[in-house]
Structure 1
Amino acid sequence: MTLTSTASDPAGEELPEPTSLDEVKGWFFPADQVLFDWFLTRQNDLTEPGDLLEIGAYMGKSAIFMGSYLREGDTFTVCDLFDSPAQDDANSAEMRYSYPTLTRRSFESNYLSFHDELPEVVQGLSSLVRDRVQAASCRFAHIDGSHLYEHVRGDIEDTRSLLHPHGIVALDDYRSEHCPGVAAAVWEAVATGGLNPVCVTGTKLYGTWGDPAPVREQLLEFLAGRDDLWHGVEDVAGDRLVRVKGTKTVPPAHPQSRHRREEPPPAAAVQPAPAPRTEQPAPAVRRRSPMRRLALNVLPPFVSKGFVRLRAALRHQA
């Protein structure tokens, strides 16, 4: 990744210009990329209405990916504190520890490396989203914001009101040891908040407050054709939960960066110069001895032939 100081950066901060999505900092693993692609493509194929929402963007890796599935008329809202101070000490301390280099300018530079326009950016606490996004207007939401139980619980409740009845939510860090508050809030939503899990990976839980059966069955059909993704089905609290694991997952196609390096055309194979032709020496001309020439010219043919045979026999004996 190259870093450059741009005219739109009055603070002189070095802004990223990633040449590929892999160069954008963040934790968005191939198995989850495959699932994001599957859920969002399915919604587009079914022409399901609704916008996109992300709470917690970091440097924009997953937002850049999600932005590729926007349709004409869709709105994509991204909320993050970025470099704004939080309104409580616990959240401020958590932000300083987890994301010390997060700035809005870096996010925007990354996003605009792949897309022509920025999403609707809400800079501040995630609680601001419910005043900026219309109720029941979203089809897909990705929640990867605060790791504190109270904040995650509020994000989940807000997301429920913002999703349409069959919308999908992806909840990050639902089982990570470094943020047990997220796990508590997520599984509380499953146990008592009506959230129906569809599937889980090692980092994200995907669920809906609608009927999970149709999307789950279609997902299982899709996974059955993927050799690079392991999957299994568990019975959890009386319902089916699909587990997905992919250590060698082939990710879907990524959006292209405007800074990507063009691969040089393959060099033409250099043909070896032909070896110089070596002239073969002409065969030596056998010169007849004077005696043989005399015999051939003077003696009768039958005598000269006998003479030649006799001479050859004598040479052989010698």
Structure 2
Amino acid sequence: MIESRPSLPATLDDVDGWFPKVDQRLFTWFLERQDRLGQSGDLVELGSYLGKSAILMGRHLRDGENFTVCDLFDSEAPDDSNQAEMEGSYATLTRTAFEANYRAFHDGLPQIVQAPTSAILDHVQPESCRFVHVDASHLYEHVRGDIQAAHVMLPVEGVIVCDDYRSEHTPGVSAAVWEAVAVDGLRAVCVTPQKFYGTWGDAKPVQDDLLEWLGAQDDLWHETQEVAGRRLVRVKGRPAPKPKKKNQVRELKERLARIEDQRARAQHELDSVRNSVSFKVGRAATALPRVMRRRRPPQG
């Protein structure tokens, strides 16, 4: 019996994974901005699942740059807590599935490091990257180490993106991300419902460019807040507008006109009945007994 192979994805939406449209838009914006400004450097993803975000990042790889993906895939985790997390959330993750998905969109594969993310600095040089996506373990100790590694790999103008920084089931990520902001000098550029975008450089020029771009995007909502004395941009997708009825006002007017016409016809028919001879005779006949009963003298 020949086993059928799963069909390859034709679009990014066909790839399993958690990569909302708003973050797809922001990844593209950050990477294209770096291209416009001539900021060179490698790309790194720590934790790739089945390749959804890696596929998008690979589209922005330039000649002479490297893209390194680090993930356990189907290897054993380095500790019991990490192994339990793998079995609970990533049971379907295999390197074969990742490679098949990635090759559906790209001719070649990135450099794959099948190991714990703590090994990434053995494969990537300090300050050699421009964009690092942290999306591996949700355990505080591991995420803290991944952020520290990103700090080593990125120059000051580089961008770090951290996934699941606010989810209820990932408090370890939240603790590690905001600790880096409060203690280690990481500066927040923007946040979405799922991801945190930051830099160890000056966030203001990035935010200024981002706000200018967001102002022209009808499908993205944004606002600015101040956190610990620094500006932070919130971004999320706008819900699709509900379709409006065409010519709604005209339809309402036509409906009111029909109701008024029905009322006028009913009134006309009622007046016709009241003015008819039969109605007047019948009314007089029923009125006579009432008059006679009122005039009848009391008995006894």
TM-score using structure 2 length: 0.78
1:90 corresponds to which residue? Answer: 81
- Distance in 2 between the 1:190 and 1:165 partners? 14
- Structure 1 residue 227 displacement after superposition: 1.0
- Distance in 1 between the 2:48 and 2:177 partners? 19
1:143 aligns with 2:151: no
- Count matched residues: 239
Aligned letter for 1:26?
Answer: G
1:291 corresponds to which residue? Answer: none
1:129 corresponds to which residue? Answer: 120
- Structure 1 residue 14 displacement after superposition: 4.2
Aligned letter for 2:203?
Answer: P
1:193 corresponds to which residue? Answer: 184
> Which is helix-richer, 1 or 2?
2
1:288 corresponds to which residue? Answer: none
- Structure 1 residue 21 displacement after superposition: 1.0
1:109 aligns with 2:100: yes
Contact 1:16 1:109 in 2 (8 A): no
2:275 corresponds to which residue? Answer: none
- Distance in 2 between the 1:92 and 1:53 partners? 23
- Structure 1 residue 45 displacement after superposition: 1.1
CA deviations 1:147-182 (Å, max 9, x no partner) are 000000000000000011100011000000011100
1:180 to 171, 174, 180: 171
Greater RCO (CA < 8 Å, at least 6 residues apart): 1
- Structure number with greater Rg is 1
- Structure 1 residue 247 displacement after superposition: 3.7
Contact 1:16 1:110 in 2 (8 A): no
1:166 to 157, 169, 173: 157
Superposed counterparts of 1:282-301, under 5 Å: none
Gaps of 5+ in 1: 6-11, 250-318
2:110 to 112, 116, 119: 119
- Distance in 2 between the 1:42 and 1:164 partners? 16
1:51 corresponds to which residue? Answer: 42
- Distance in 2 between the 1:140 and 1:185 partners? 19
Superposed counterparts of 1:157-306, under 5 Å: 157-248=148-239
Q: Which runs of 4+ in 1 moved over 6 A?
A: none
1:37 aligns with 2:28: yes
**Paired residue secondary structure (1:165):** coil
- Distance in 2 between the 1:226 and 1:247 partners? 10
Structure 2 CA distance for partners of 1:16 and 1:102, relative to 1, 3 Å:
farther
Aligned letter for 1:191?
Answer: A
**Paired residue secondary structure (1:206):** strand
Seq. identity, % = 59
Aligned letter for 1:188?
Answer: E
Contact 1:174 1:205 in 2 (8 A): yes
**Paired residue secondary structure (2:177):** helix
1:282 corresponds to which residue? Answer: none
- Distance in 2 between the 1:135 and 1:13 partners? 44
2:15 corresponds to which residue? Answer: 24
- Distance in 2 between the 1:13 and 1:206 partners? 41
- Structure 1 residue 16 displacement after superposition: 4.9
- Distance in 2 between the 1:59 and 1:226 partners? 29
- Distance in 2 between the 1:83 and 1:203 partners? 25
RMSD: 1.3
1:100 aligns with 2:91: yes
CA deviations 1:215-256 (Å, max 9, x no partner) are 11110101111111110000100000000010448xxxxxxx
